[in-house]
Amino acid sequence: MKRSTQIGLAAAGVLLVATYWGRSGSQDQSEESLVYANLAECRAGGQLTSTQCEQRFNEATANHLRDAKKFTSTSACETEYGSGSCRSAVWNGAQVVVPALAGIMLARSLAQGGGAAQPLLPPTQQACPPGSQAPECQQARSSSSGSSGGGGGYGGRGSSSSARAFSTTSGAAVVARAGSSPGVATTTTTTSRGGFGSTARSYSSSSSS
Amino acid sequence: MRRVPLAPRPDWQTQVERLGFAFHTIDGQTYWDESVAYGFTLAQIERDIEAPTDAIEQLCFAFIEKAIADDEILSRLAIPVGQWDFIRESWRRGDRNLYGRLDLAYDGKGPAKLLEYNADTPTALFESAVVQWDWLEQAMARGVLRPDCDQFNALHERLIAAFAQLRQPSPYRLHLACVQNSNEDRGTVDYLMDCAVQAGLDARFTYIEEIGLLSDGRFCDGANQPIETLFKLYPWEWLFRESYAANLATSRCQFVEPPWKALLSNKGLLACLWAMEPGHPNLLPAFFEGDPRCAGLAARHVRKPLYSREGANIALIERGAVIDSDDGPYGAEGFILQDAAPNLFAQDGRYAVLGSWLVASQASGLCVREDVSPITKNSSRFVPHYIEG
């Protein structure tokens, strides 16, 4: 026989060709990322609808356990992520300790169209050593341990809330700066973005054949 | 080889959409056309398509060996000098490739002739691997075709096997990328991603435009995850000329297709192969434009830009006059001239071009596209095929 013996059309979950087609991107071509520490902050940010915020947090939560570094003890996790920053979980049937989900980050230009939301973790001890007086570390510790931090409410933050530190699951430090652009992050290790794709934009025809 | 009109399934849209095939109609025009099918004998498939496809791939490998040692060839192919070592290294390292499609002229008699090699970013993959496969199963089940028919189409299982072999140790993390705002490209990548998942890989999608550069020199996806292996449905000749071009060689990323495919996905290949094997039964005479030997070409010949997709900027010339052409943005890097294929299948005002698929350099399947003109364009229709029982 010269053809595949099966494509698995009947076997559930084998042929998972997406029925979900990317919608066209938003007009905002900004390459910045949006960072939200929790659902309420996302909704208050006004960039995404309430439903979109929930979807993004659900995605990030689903990816969090898969991507986060796993530890065998709370002390080992806290040595890297700081006191009170870890929680226990079950992964592939094993008891593990992972840094807690501290927020989500997503590319602003893709936020409306379904770009992946990335889980954010508390900052590492390397970025925010114990006793650090850096304002972003103060804010990060207080928000990841659950208190509302700063001036309270969504709009009335005090000066200490102008920046917060996080880390990505791959260990990169992220500092989210509030102020004129609420929740916009700069990632210290991503030096640039968008260095590919310019030819496709200048052509009307397809990039494939 | 026969062109056989058949009644489409009454609910064909529903049937193909249930497979996830969302671009059966493009810009209001029919793309998937099952009102006709092409029937082949097993001998035609094995002797005239499968065997020559494997032979041409071997000839292409011999060409790469020659090209990476010859600066003049790399220059003729308009490969930027800064990328030569990047390409050479990928070949010497033995970077594996996933897939490609040879476009062949064939009318059922005599040897198929190579029109071009889509070695880097071929599409029409999902409809070849899945939609026409399912069409045949249903046609045989409904009694429209005899139940002992077959199809040259092992794409699905070969793709899954090839993904597992691309990189060691496997499973590995694979990013797959295409441009924003192209349903056809996204459909192709989504299908390949499904194959990769079935191969056990940690497969993740990112748009080409989302890719970023980390301070350690690696590329990252939209979520800043480092990219270690990247399937990119985006041409090498464009990557070579964009902002991150100088970062390619230092990114420690394994690319799929590998950089050496840039030497094959270039119409200059056609002139180079003819120079290596003049008179080869599966090749058409071809020369770079400006070569004095162009005078020896047939009165009816084709002018093709080195870089061109979906028929753009290709002109069919008869005794010096352009009789068919397609506009487009290509041609700045030069052209080749190639004899018009004398064996292009034509019937009922339709021309058919065969796409012969390679997976991991092995002939693995066939697709047929029809057009009302001898130049296959992005307006062409995908038509299913079968092997007669």
Quick: pLDDT tens for B70-111.
999 999 999 999 999 999 999 999 999 999 999 999 999 999
Specify whether the CB–CB gap between B301 and B340 falls below 8 A.
Answer: yes
Of B72, B55, B51, nearest to B268 by C-alpha is: B72
Chain A closest CA to B256's CA: distance in Å? 14
Give a yes or no: residue A99 inside a domain. yes
Our count of domains for chain A comes to 1
Residues 6+ away with beta carbon under 8 Å from B369: B124, B352, B353, B355, B376, B380, B381, B382, B383
Contact indicator for A163, A175 with CB cutoff of 8 Å:
yes
Distance CA B362, CA A85 (A): 52
- Put simply, whether A200 touches B (Cβ < 8 Å) is yes
Q: In the predicted model, what is the mean pLDDT of chain B?
A: 93
| Cβ atoms of B135 and B141 closer than 8 Å | no
Question: In 10 A of CB A122, how many CB atoms?
Answer: 28
Asked whether A144 and A85 are in contact (CB, 8 A), the reply is yes
Tell me the sheet residues that pair with B368. Answer: B354, B383
| Residue B301 resides in a domain | no
B154/A187 touch (CB, cutoff 8 Å), yes or no: no
For chain A positions 110-169, those within 8 Å of chain B (CB to CB) are: 110, 115-118, 168-169
**Is A26 domain-assigned?**
no
B241 within a domain of the structure (yes/no): yes
Return the structure tokens found at B115. Answer: 């029109």
The CA radius of gyration of chain B, in Å to the nearest whole number, is 21
Alpha helix stretches (DSSP H) within chain B: 12-17, 42-43, 51-67, 71-76, 84-92, 125-126, 132-141, 155-165, 183-198, 236-239, 268-276
| Cα–Cα dist B294/B14, whole Å | 50
**AA letter at A168:** T
Chain B contact set for A1 (CB, 8 A): 150
Residue A30 has pLDDT above 60, yes or no: no
Please tell me if residue B264 touches chain A, with a CB cutoff of 8 Å. no
Of A142 and B49, the one with more pLDDT: B49
Q: Evaluate whether residue B311 is within a structural domain.
A: no
The count of residues in chain A is 209
- Chain B contact set for A208 (CB, 8 A): 121-123, 178, 182, 184-185, 188, 233, 309
Range of the domain at B20: 2-266+346-387
In a domain, A6, yes or no: no
Q: Which amino acid is at B343?
A: N
Poorest-pLDDT segment among A8-12, A31-35, A142-146, B161-165: A8-12
Residues in chain B with CB shorter than 8 Å from the CB of A108 are none
Q: Mind listing the pLDDT tens digit of every residue in chain B (389 residues)?
A: 999 999 999 999 988 988 888 889 988 889 999 999 999 999 999 999 999 999 999 999 999 999 999 999 999 999 999 999 999 999 999 999 999 999 999 999 999 999 999 999 998 999 999 999 989 988 988 899 998 899 999 999 999 999 999 999 988 999 999 998 888 898 899 899 989 988 889 999 999 999 999 888 999 988 888 999 999 999 999 999 999 999 999 999 999 999 999 999 999 999 999 999 999 999 999 999 999 999 999 999 999 999 977 767 788 988 888 877 776 666 678 999 999 999 999 998 999 999 999 999 999 999 999 998 888 777 799 999 999 98
Residue B326 inside a domain? The answer is no
Classify residue A19: in a domain, yes or no.
Answer: no
Q: CB-CB: which of B121, B130, B213 is closest to A195?
A: B213
Task: Provide the pairing of β-strand B36-40 with B385-387.
Answer: parallel
Q: How far out from the chain centre does Cα A81 lie?
A: 17
Look up residue A195 and give its two tokens: 């260095």
- Number of alpha carbons in the 13 Å side-chain half-sphere of residue A38: 12
* Number of domains present in the structure of chain B: 1
Q: In this complex, is the C-beta atom of B198 within 8 Å of any C-beta atom belonging to chain A?
A: yes
Residue listed under structure tokens 């700063």: A150
What's the distance, Cα to Cα, between the start and end of chain A in Å?
A: 28
B310 domain residue, yes or no:
no
pLDDT digits (tens, 9 = 90+) for A68-125: 888 989 999 998 888 888 998 888 888 889 999 988 887 655 545 555 678 888 888 7
Beta carbons within 10 angstroms of residue B223's beta carbon: 25
Residue with tokens 């590492």: A124
The angle formed by the CA atoms of residues B78, B80 and B83, to the nearest 5 degrees, is 130
Phi, psi of B163 (to 5 degrees): -60, -40
List, as ranges, residues 22-61 from A with C-beta within 8 Å of B. 22, 24-25
Instruction: Judge whether A22 lies within some domain.
Output: no
CA distance B129 to B139: 16
How far apart are the CA of B223 and the nearest CA of chain A, in angstroms? 5
Q: Does the residue A28 lie in any domain?
A: no
Domain of residue A169 covers: 33-189
Contact present, B354 and B341 (Cβ < 8 Å): no
Beta bridge partners of B359: B99, B362
Q: Quick one: pLDDT at residue B364?
A: 98
| Cβ separation A172–B224 shorter than 8 A | yes
Query: ipTM of the predicted structure?
Result: 0.87
In a domain? residue A111: yes
pLDDT digit string, tens, across residues B12-45: 998 898 888 888 998 888 999 999 999 999 999 9
What is chain A written as a DSSP string?
Answer: --B-S---SSSTTT------PPPPPPS-----EEEESSHHHHHHHSSS-HHHHHHHHHHHHHHHHHHSPPBSSHHHHHHHH-TT-EEEEEETTEEEEEEPP-EEEEEGGGTTTTPPPEEEEPPPTTTS-TT---HHHHHHHHHHTT---TT-SSS---GGGGEEEEEETTS-EEEEE-SSSTTEEEETTEEEE--S-HHHHH-SS-S--
In a domain? residue B125:
yes
